[in-house]
Amino acid sequence: LGDLLSVGTDRRIRYMISKGGSEALLQTLVDTARTASPDYDILLPLLRLLAKVGLRDKKFGQKALELEALDVTLILARKNLSHSQNLLHCLWALRVFTSSVTTGAMLGINGAMELLLKVITPYTQKHTQVIRAATEVLAALLKSKSNSRRAVNRGYVSGLLRLHQDWHSHDTANSYVLIRWALLLCLKHIANLRSGREAFLAAQGMEILFSTTQNCLDDKILEPVVSIVLQILRQCYPKSPLPLVTANSAYTFPGTRSITSDPPHVLTEEDFEEDGEEEEDKDLDSEDVKEEDDDLETDVNKLSSKPGLDRPAEELMQYEAMCLELSCNFKELESEAGDDLTFDETQYTNHHHIPTPVSLKGCCLNKDQVFWGHEREATAQTSLLSRVKMGSPHQNVQSKGFGLSSSGSKSPSIQPLIKEDTWDIDVISCPRMSASLTNSTQPKEIAELMDKLLQTHPKSMAFHDPYLYMAKARRTRSVADFTMMSFPDFWGHCPPASAQSMLERKCGVQRIKIFEDVRRLIQPNDVINKVVFSLDESWPLHDIASDCLQFFSKFESGNLRKAIQVREFEYDLLVNADVNSAQHQQWFYFRVTGMRTAIPYRFNIINCEKPNSQFNYGMQPTLYSVKEALLGRPGWVRTGYEICYYKNHYLQSAAITGGASGKYYYTLTFTITFPHDEDACYLAYHYPYTYTTLMTHLDILEKSVNPKQVYFRHEVLCQTLGGNPCPLVTITARPESNSTDHLEQFRQRPYQVITARVHPGESNASWMMKGTLEFLVSSDPVAQLLRESFIFKIIPMLNPDGVINGNHRCSLRGEDLNRQWLSPKAHLQPTIYHTKGLLHYLCSIGRRPMVFCDFHGHSQKKNVFLYGCSIKETLWQAESTVGTSDLSEDVSYRTLPKILDKLAPAFTMSSCSFLVEKSRASTARVVSSYCGCNQGPYQVFLPPKLRWSSFRFHPTLTFGTRELEEMGAMFCLGLLILELKSVSCSHQLLTRAATLLNATEESLDHHLQRIFHKTEIFNFNKV
């Protein structure tokens, strides 16, 4: 029988099991073993056969228990303690019996663990097969909680630690790694119990495993040992609450109820419930993680229902004033083009020419740097349509952040804007919002320094002016009443001359960082543990030792709640929860000063909430150096190394998680070597884009356009809860004349509605919106054609209050505004309420938007992708029993993403999703579909980094601000292609397109067909 089952596949064994073979073999074992003189010539082959069959029979342990084979095998093992071969065969059988937890528990009751511990001896080179088998059986038995408790009560933990130490110290040739691994596995199973962890700590298990593993970290042979040691250390590290007074945000907004009640920041008994086996953190790319099918909406009535109006119909008429383009005389509108800016605010405004998406709008060149732009001059003169997806606009790769040209060498020396010996970094790096620099309450020399500094601001920095920014900042209302401005937002940002390469992921970084965290516990005397910054207390910054870093975050979009110096060059940082909330800690933005160059500083943000992050896959934080900016290189760059994101020992309170216990915070750790001594550097989760930056940008844009060609109207959609105006922008082309025909033609243009930044931490969405706005008002022929074809209604920031106050996801009420679209209230969610009202109004007058799109960021996926809504795809994916053959659905929802997939190198069609989930029922994407947009509605997601597959030479580049802005332009081009390739596209539009693009209609059509095939766009029934 053994010979038959040893040949071929498992099919023979499974066939034998199905015919009762397991029971027959077990019964034979019982009968043979119970004879007066058992015949081992029969028993040994039988035990080998049982070990082979038991691996394929899921119920083998239960069958052995029912047939009393457990007791028989234990008796045989006890009789053969001095006969290694016989004992080895018994252990093989016991190993397969323990596949059932119930069977393992019964073996523990019958004394199996005591027997095994007699077999497992200190280090020896004899009978190692038997010892290995015994440790593996013991590890399997300890999966049972009752056996683990028994092991703790009988003091086995210290004995197992001594055995591990002995084998580790003597096995210098690493010949018995599997025995050492199995001993550690025993400890790991015991550590699943709270009592087991306590016994492990009492036996100094942390110190023992930490010390025995230090010399093994780089040995690949010992990889299994190091891995399981790491798991045990993480399991047994004492759980503790965050070092905060309360989990709630340091800021509260009066007049609204906090969504999360204020929990006392102490851990209760339920937070320490017995947890199951803790798995090692999965290091999987979240790009491959799919939505859970059980969240899909399968109710056809809900999917196809059209909810009624959520307000009185007459209330919609208030939005008529936001669509003046449909009724007003354009001579009247010309007189309304200005805004309420005073001359003092606009006298320094940068009325810079609006560049095309790939022009040199961000390089801030001076005379010594002009050569950087030569490669782009020709590119800037060509139409966007001729540059789509046929090659990268950036062929140079920049691997480092500071002062590197496209070749990777140091950029030419640049004269400082002001003499370096006059720099006062403390003053310059975070200027006050003084009404007038020269008339401020600051000392005269400081005011003169700032005024002189402003006069040196590079005029080539497009769409930015620090004077105007300062004026706008004074009007911005924050919960904390900020009086300081961050230097990067005040001074401006220029993207690097070339794209930065993605950080190459270094193996073993996470492991090293976790061991360093464990070192704090076992060597507490090495830990400084000094608070150097805190929003919760009036910290006397002047008392802080000069040898440590100083932190600051009390400026717009800033988020840092507490900084603790752990070691000389290591700091634990805690970010603030969203206002009126105790959650959503992810976004960070703060200033750090007092650094020394050539010193690696480690920063640990210890209260992140997301279970994984692109920081594990090459993403880096962004850094802005004030000294670099003063040297003529202002800009955010990706920086940092030894970056990883992992679960830590800080436990979330059950009161915060809604009653769920056992949830942990995560640590983002990174190391930075700063470029200058005594610099002031800003660090951020992603490229910041503040509300004041947006308002400054909109004003400069409005004053930069040609009013005879571009209709640009900037108005207020509503006031936010915090008292800030939410901007609404209308962009289109002015009619050719005031004739009736031209006005009627103008008013029949379809609407496109675009929104962004409902989640404050998704600043990449604002950079894409910036590119969209700049392109739409540019002189590019495609932009001109877009303006002549559509009326764009743009709400560039749906959550201004959240952005201003440094939130990651919520409004001032602690609500996720993208979950409030079903029934928003004007006094609670004003921006959502009025955006939805505007959509309803457009639909009510027969002007439903052609496309509604909401720009988002995504922290865990790569590349740009799009989410839409499809009833049929949702039902198919959910394998719903409801027939879909009778459902009619317009498949054109796939048109725009297919176009973008052809246009934009960063767009990935395979990441798009059109499924409707129950948990997304109140989002803009789902709710606005009821308004009946011709296309969409969509959510476009922007990654923190990308894998740009069309780069032939540089396949992995970071997604910088220039790439995000270009994606905004590409999105606009996609809208044009969508119209030009549609069946309903008028001959007149095609004629205008051909004229504007300097081509005949035939050559235009040929050019479009070269990029897109009609069959790829319209034959969706086959998809």
Average pLDDT over residues 173-200: 95
CA distance 695 to 698: 5
Determine the pLDDT at residue 364.
37
CA distance 508 to 796: 42
CA distance 818 to 824: 10
Partnered with residue 651 across adjacent β-strands are 664
Q: Is the pLDDT of residue 644 over 70?
A: yes
C-beta neighbour count of 137 within 10 angstroms: 29
Taking CA atoms, 231 is separated from 198, 228, 521, 546, 813, in Å, by 16, 5, 16, 39, 39
CATH class, range 503-684:
mainly beta
Provide the pairing of β-strand 570-574 with 637-638: unpaired
Residue 635 corresponds to which tokens in the numbers above? 């800009």
Q: Which run of H or of E encompasses 941?
A: strand 935-942
Q: How many Cα atoms are found within 13 Å in the side-chain-facing hemisphere of 484?
A: 17
Residue 140 — very low, low, confident or very high, per pLDDT cuts 50/70/90? very high
CA distance 981 to 273: 60
Express each pLDDT in 843-894 by its tens digit. Answer: 999 999 989 999 988 877 778 878 887 777 777 777 676 656 666 667 777 8
CA distance 115 to 69: 17
C-beta neighbour count of 488 within 10 angstroms: 28
Q: Based on C-alpha coordinates, what's the Rg of the chain?
A: 34
Q: Is the pLDDT of residue 1020 over 60?
A: no
Q: Which run of H or of E encompasses 112?
A: helix 112-119
Determine the pLDDT at residue 520.
94
Provide the pairing of β-strand 710-719 with 725-733: antiparallel
- CATH superfamily name and code, 2-236: Leucine-rich Repeat Variant (1.25.10.10)
> What is the biggest distance separating any 2 CA atoms in the chain, rounded to whole angstroms?
115
Q: What is the dihedral of CA 118, 124, 127, 129, to 10 degrees?
A: 90
Query: Are 581 and 248 within 8 A, CB to CB?
Result: yes
Among the listed residues 598, 736, 787, the one whose alpha carbon sits nearest the alpha carbon of residue 677 = 598
- For all residues of the chain together, what is the average pLDDT? 80
Residue 442 — very low, low, confident or very high, per pLDDT cuts 50/70/90? low
Query: Are 17 and 63 within 8 A, CB to CB?
Result: no
Query: Are 214 and 512 within 8 A, CB to CB?
Result: no
Q: CB burial class (10 A; 0-12, 13-18, 19+) of residue 538?
A: exposed
Fold: same for 2-236 and 313-341+690-879+889-1018: no
Residue 972 corresponds to which tokens in the numbers above? 């606009």
CA distance 805 to 690: 10
Classify 57 as helix, strand or coil: coil
CA 165 to chain centre: 41
The identity of residue 551, as a single letter, is F
Q: Is the pLDDT of residue 458 over 80?
A: no
Write down the architecture of domain 313-341+690-879+889-1018 according to CATH: 3-Layer(aba) Sandwich (3.40)
Residue 505 — very low, low, confident or very high, per pLDDT cuts 50/70/90? confident
Residue 896 corresponds to which tokens in the numbers above? 């725009």
Best mean pLDDT range from 71-75, 130-134, 274-278 = 130-134
CA distance 293 to 249: 34
Average pLDDT over residues 919-943: 67
Taking CA atoms, 783 is separated from 603, 745, 753, 776, 1003, in Å, by 44, 18, 16, 5, 20
The identity of residue 565, as a single letter, is Q
Q: Is the pLDDT of residue 986 over 60?
A: yes
CA distance 568 to 589: 22
pTM of the predicted structure, to 2 decimals? 0.84
Taking CA atoms, 985 is separated from 577, 977, 990, in Å, by 49, 10, 7
Q: Is the pLDDT of residue 80 over 80?
A: yes
Provide the pairing of β-strand 664-673 with 641-651: antiparallel
Q: What is the DSSP letter of 906?
A: T
Residue 698 corresponds to which tokens in the numbers above? 């909109």
CA distance 854 to 163: 60
Residue 437 — very low, low, confident or very high, per pLDDT cuts 50/70/90? very low
Among the listed residues 643, 791, 803, 666, the one whose alpha carbon sits nearest the alpha carbon of residue 730 = 791
Contacts of residue 920, defined as CB under 8 A and 6 or more positions apart, other chains included, come to 926
CA distance 458 to 634: 10
Q: SS in 3 state form for 865-901? A: EEECCCHHHHHHHCCCCCCCCCCCCCHHHHHHHHHHH
**CA angle at residue 862 from 857 to 867, to 5 degrees?**
55
Express each pLDDT in 533-566 by its tens digit. Answer: 999 887 655 556 678 999 999 999 999 999 999 9
Express each pLDDT in 248-295 by its tens digit. Answer: 999 999 866 544 444 444 555 444 444 444 333 343 344 344 444 567
The identity of residue 158, as a single letter, is S
**In terms of residues, how long is the chain?**
1023
Domains of the chain, by residue range, sit at: 2-236, 313-341+690-879+889-1018, 503-684
Classify 601 as helix, strand or coil: strand
| Residue 398 or 371, more confident | 398
Q: Is the pLDDT of residue 753 over 90?
A: yes
The identity of residue 111, as a single letter, is G
Best mean pLDDT range from 40-54, 300-314, 769-783 = 769-783
φ/ψ region of 658 (left if φ > 0, alpha if ψ in -120 to 50, else beta) reads: left
Phi, psi of 601 (to 5 degrees): -105, 130
CA distance 726 to 746: 26
